[in-house]
Structure 1
Amino acid sequence: MSDEGFGVVEVCAGAGGQSLGLHKAGFTHRLAVEIDETAADTLRTNLEVPVVVGDVADPELWNPRDYAGVDLFAGGVPCPPFSAAGKQLGTSDERDLFAWAIEQVAVLRPRAVMLENVRGLSAPRFAAYRQRVLDRLLELGYVGEWKLLHAADFGVPQLRPRFVLVAMPADDMRYFHWPEPNPGPRVTVGDALHDLMAADGWKYADAWRHAANDVGPTLVGGSKKHGGADLGPTRAKAGWAKLHVDGRGIADMAPNRKSLSFRTTPPRLTIEMAARIQGWAAGDNYRFSGRKTSQYRQIGNAFPPPVAEAVGQSIRSAMTRDSLPRTAEPGVVEVHDPVYRALAASEGALSLAELVDAHNQGSEAAVQQRLAAIGRDFELHRIDDGGVERYLLGEFKGFTGQSDHWRHDVVTRFRNRVS
């Protein structure tokens, strides 16, 4: 730990949802990196965080070696590569920075790592990708764990599942415990927004509060390629409609004394209301830079501050030994993909029968499915060995910092569309 307290370097920081939560957990930014100038301005204005703006993987933008030994390396690397809405392109998406982020651990040598993404990264499609991440961290001296956390369990009035990776050296990881859900009932949309809905004298605000008696669907911020200032695709809008919210756009102001009943004309959320749904509290006094669509995108793409705070507190407790040690020693990496594991460990090509044995489920079809998924993110060579087809794992297709990777050309050519 530095003399200035617990330091954090955060990449893909956005407008500061994760930043705010980590600040509340006792961390101070040494640096934040963000590609969008408007989001960076939001972050600077509200938290006075030192921010550099540009492609986080550009070596001319910042030098990770300058921050070696920082307490925490954190980030919310782009979600579309792993999102079902983003076609789950994985390593074929120029926005995939997860593997690159893991490689920075070798340079930064932080005491802890915290990276978050969408639920899609937990799908079978990315089992080999996850396995490679954990195995690489172990090579670097870190024990990594994945956990699917639901924002609604931490006082956020929306579902918003987030897949979080935490990694620490085994001596620290022994004291790390994932945060427990808040006790008591979940905060509903009605309870979270009642004061804002009633602020301009809307006479139906109390009745609306009781009608909007559940958590909301996940806010969808979209990207510079897709998405605007509405609450998401058709299914999300239908979910909001059940809570008597019109999800087709964002309002400039709250309902007033002349506004009609929510049963005939459901209100739209304002920017302030959307931020509340994402976990920003009234006392945060947070202001978002830019125009309405940009503001909503910043909010919709954020990591909810209460979830970041909860995970940050668990990491800090492990560092300070304020938590009890685990009953089981960490150090054994969880197996997410036994087929990938077998291929990665083998010095030669393996037959389908050998991979079925490694998979330990006795199904050639299951192994073939795993091979198809592996082949999307890794070079997979098929070799004819006297009539027996064998498989040999080749290079990882993802971006880990290679100077000649195709991602550089895409980012250069379409700079204003990459988010």
Structure 2
Amino acid sequence: MEQDSLSVVEICAGAGGQALGLEKAGFEHELAVELDANASATLRANRPWKVAEGDVADSTVWNPEDHRGIALLAGGVPCPPFTIAGKQLGATDERDLFAWAVEQVAVVQPRALLLENVRGLSMPRFAGYRQHVLDRLTSLGYMGEWKLLQASDYGVPQLRPRFVLVALKPEDAAYFTWPEPQGPPPTVGEILLPLMKSRGWRGADAWKHKANKIAPTIVGGSKKHGGADLGPTRAKRAWAEMGVDALGVADEPPGQERDDEWIPKLTTEMVSLLQGWRPDEWHFTGRKTTRYRQIGNAFPPPVAEAVGNSIRMALEHEGIPAERAASSHDPIYKALRESGDFLTPTQLQRAVGRPIEPPELERTLSLLSRDFDLDVRESRGSIAYRLGTFKAFVGQDEHSRHEVFQKNRGRIS
């Protein structure tokens, strides 16, 4: 089918942080796919987009082939498989949809791909996973590149690193450059003062001077855990230093009945400002905890807009083209994958082109074995390794992901 020049399909769209940013960058949503009913309701409440509600990997929810040739396939697939605070199960986590999303490039054949996730995916633990993604994109005719972006570089008053993957066809990739930082963001006190004063709290001005930093990462949490609060112990300490009670979220700003020394909690409206939404530009549906989770789990709109602008300019061939070198994240993975056969440590060193100390090899192979089948063969006192199947769900009908997903569906968010 013929597509609009800047059409986008967004998977795992959440409550619309990435969607709003991409819209501001000039993209038009052809479809948004989201599992959570409350987030889907928020999307529908704000824009007349077509929203498909349900498991993004369920062919009865949407058909990727219907959107072949769009400009951009985008999404913020689930973070728990990679988060530093979690077990980092990666490819063996039933919530992992990153590899599946990359595989949809073969079906949809977009001009560009944009996927974002948590900083944990940038760690050595997932070097092989990242290399697999890049190699798969190369095989599909795309040039992929990862980059860790700090939300605070794009006007968001929050320490929120996001790991972003962008892939384009070579003729467009030559024009792609990552967005430049835009200068320091406002502080928590500066951006929240109007709301803190809105009900007559006399201590608001003094509070603003105390809250003269940017926020720690706002954690939306999941359905597995209790109500809304502003994160783990370290984050709570940081909030306390700024005069914010992080043990929960308030229904409304402090009123004139509160004394000057009152330590306020944030409202969901305040949290949305700290995530980069402008006042009154987006309405979140549902009860307070649900709204907080939607906001806290979002990709900040200004970051999505900045990356979206860079992708748009590449698709429109703005600027001066430049050669792009292929990224390399795990040379040991690459050597094993390209060989397809058993390699001894000596053969691996020769393929990599440098010495590999036994502890490094042991550590790398241990990490690879968590996301890939790893065959080990011993013969005449020599040991050799062969990289086998990628364990991640990429659409297999018989994959264990289906049963586990259905069992835990009510707790996945």
Q: Classify the TM-score, shorter chain.
A: over 0.9
SS in 1 for 2:81: helix
Letter in 2 for 1:368: E
Instruction: Report the CA distance between 1:355 and its aligned residue.
Output: 2.5
Q: Gaps (5+ residues) in structure 1? A: none
SS in 1 for 2:58: coil
Look up the match of 2:368: 374
Look up the match of 1:305: 301
Out of 335, 354, 370, the position equivalent to 2:328 is 335
SS in 1 for 2:252: coil
Equivalent residues of 1:157, 1:189 under 8 A apart: yes
How many residues align? The count is 412
Equivalent residues of 1:57, 1:401 under 8 A apart: yes
Look up the match of 1:294: 290
Equivalent residues of 1:221, 1:296 under 8 A apart: yes
SS in 1 for 2:176: coil
Q: How does 1:118-129 map to 2 (within 5 A)?
A: 118-129=118-129
Question: TM-score if structure 1 supplies the norm length?
Answer: 0.96
Cα-Cα RMSD: 1.4
Cα gap change, 1:146/1:392 in structure 2, threshold over 3 Å: closer, same or farther?
A: same
CA offset digits 1:181-210 (Å, max 9, x no partner): 113x32111111111111111111111111
- Alpha-carbon distance in structure 1 between the residues aligned to 2:334 and 2:217: 34
Cα gap change, 1:306/1:227 in structure 2, threshold over 3 Å: closer, same or farther?
A: farther
SS in 1 for 2:39: helix
Letter in 1 for 2:78: P
Instruction: Report the CA distance between 1:179 and its aligned residue.
Output: 0.4
CA offset digits 1:130-159 (Å, max 9, x no partner): 000000000000000001000011111101
CA offset digits 1:274-329 (Å, max 9, x no partner): 10111111151x11111111110001100000000000001001111223323xx1
Look up the match of 1:402: 396
Equivalent residues of 2:25, 2:308 under 8 A apart: yes
Equivalent residues of 1:135, 1:333 under 8 A apart: no
Instruction: Report the CA distance between 1:2 and its aligned residue.
Output: 6.0
Letter in 2 for 1:404: E
- Alpha-carbon distance in structure 1 between the residues aligned to 2:148 and 2:107: 27
CA offset digits 1:75-109 (Å, max 9, x no partner): 00000000012211101211100000000000000
Instruction: Report the CA distance between 1:226 and its aligned residue.
Output: 2.8
Matched, 1:282 2:267: no
Cα gap change, 1:361/1:44 in structure 2, threshold over 3 Å: closer, same or farther?
A: farther
Equivalent residues of 2:4, 2:70 under 8 A apart: no
Instruction: Report the CA distance between 1:260 and its aligned residue.
Output: 2.4
Letter in 1 for 2:76: G
Matched, 1:61 2:61: yes
Instruction: Report the CA distance between 1:356 and its aligned residue.
Output: 3.7
Letter in 2 for 1:19: A
Letter in 1 for 2:264: P
Runs of at least 4 residues off by over 4 Å: 1-5
Equivalent residues of 2:203, 2:262 under 8 A apart: no
Cα gap change, 1:359/1:412 in structure 2, threshold over 3 Å: closer, same or farther?
A: farther
Question: TM-score if structure 2 supplies the norm length?
Answer: 0.97
Matched, 1:218 2:222: no
| Sequence identity (%) | 57
Q: How does 1:153-232 map to 2 (within 5 A)?
A: 153-183=153-183, 185-226=184-225, 228-232=227-231
Matched, 1:325 2:318: no
CA offset digits 1:23-73 (Å, max 9, x no partner): 111111110100001100001111222101110001111110000000000
- Alpha-carbon distance in structure 1 between the residues aligned to 2:186 and 2:355: 42
Equivalent residues of 2:239, 2:245 under 8 A apart: yes
Equivalent residues of 1:339, 1:359 under 8 A apart: no
- Alpha-carbon distance in structure 2 between the residues aligned to 1:38 and 1:211: 35
